[in-house]
Amino acid sequence: NAPLLVAPSILSADFARLGEEVAAIDAAGADWIHLDVMDGHFVPNISFGPAVIKALRSHSRLPFDVHLMIEPCDPYLQAFAEAGADHIVIHIEGGPHVHRSLQTIRALGKKAGVAICPATPASALSEILDLVDIVLVMTVNPGFGGQKFLQSQFGKIREILSMIEKSGRAIRIGVDGGVDRDTAPMAIEAGADFLVAGSAVYGQDDYAAAISALRSASQG
Ligand code: DX5
Ligand code: ZN
């Protein structure tokens, strides 16, 4: 089993000091930096785009895990790649040609990820699993930080894990939304091997303690 990774989401950081906030979670032991891009169309909130990601790139060497909650995504994939994204995660619900978008991400030389909303069944992933390196199971309806973890998604995490195992490919499976020290152990138990957490890291005074509390959830 792959070691558990923790990917703090800067959505809950202090936006007036984003560069420092990225450097701070790097120093605090984060594995990836999760960047939530929202367009006010696919989700009911607007966050930031490639220019902000580009400006943050020099503040950490950690992989930038860019979660695109935008529709369409195709016109912007190259801009996010050039801004410094290492992983580009798109939504399975984000349009009729997700297969093509994933091919584009790979052609740009980036790791390709697919995120899946609470209302979408695991089976929606069956025809694109061979094109992805990362599956991100949303445990809230995307759009905002600080929402409550949807325990109804556990069965889907298990189902996706078994699809991944059958594929024989090294695909990472993560959870995003409402992850904290109480819900992390259950998500890991269901099969998650990385955790995205916004408020459970940036909402705390001690980022290193917050990250290690999430990490230790995998030790039961
Ligand atoms: C939700 C975003 C999440 C969000 C998580 O739409 O995709 O990454 O920042 O925030 P918390 O951990 O506070 O639920
Ligand atoms: Zn996210």
The ipTM, to two decimals, is 0.99
Does 176 appear as a known binding residue? yes
> What is the per-residue pLDDT across 4-58, written as a single tens digit (0 to 9) for each?
999 999 999 999 999 999 999 999 999 999 999 999 999 999 999 999 999 999 9
The residues with which 173 forms a beta bridge, in sequence order, are: 135
- CB under 8 Å to 94, separation ≥6 — which residues? 42, 68, 70, 71, 72, 73, 101
Nearest Cα residue to 205 out of 31, 35, 24, 59: 24
The structure tokens listed for 86 are 């290492």
pTM of structure: 0.98
> What is the per-residue pLDDT across 170-211, written as a single tens digit (0 to 9) for each?
999 999 999 999 999 999 999 999 999 999 999 999 999 999
Q: Which atom of ligand 1 is nearest to the CA of 38?
A: 6
DSSP conformational letter for 45 = -
176 classed as catalytic: yes
The structure tokens listed for 34 are 């999760």
Take atom 1 of ligand 1 and give the residue whose Cα is closest: 142
Q: Which domains does the chain have, with CATH numbers?
A: 5-219 (3.20.20.70)
Q: Given a cut of 90, is residue 2 above it in pLDDT?
A: no
CB atoms within 10 A of CB 107: 12
Sign of CA dihedral 59, 206, 46, 117: positive
Specify whether the CB–CB gap between 194 and 4 falls below 8 A: yes
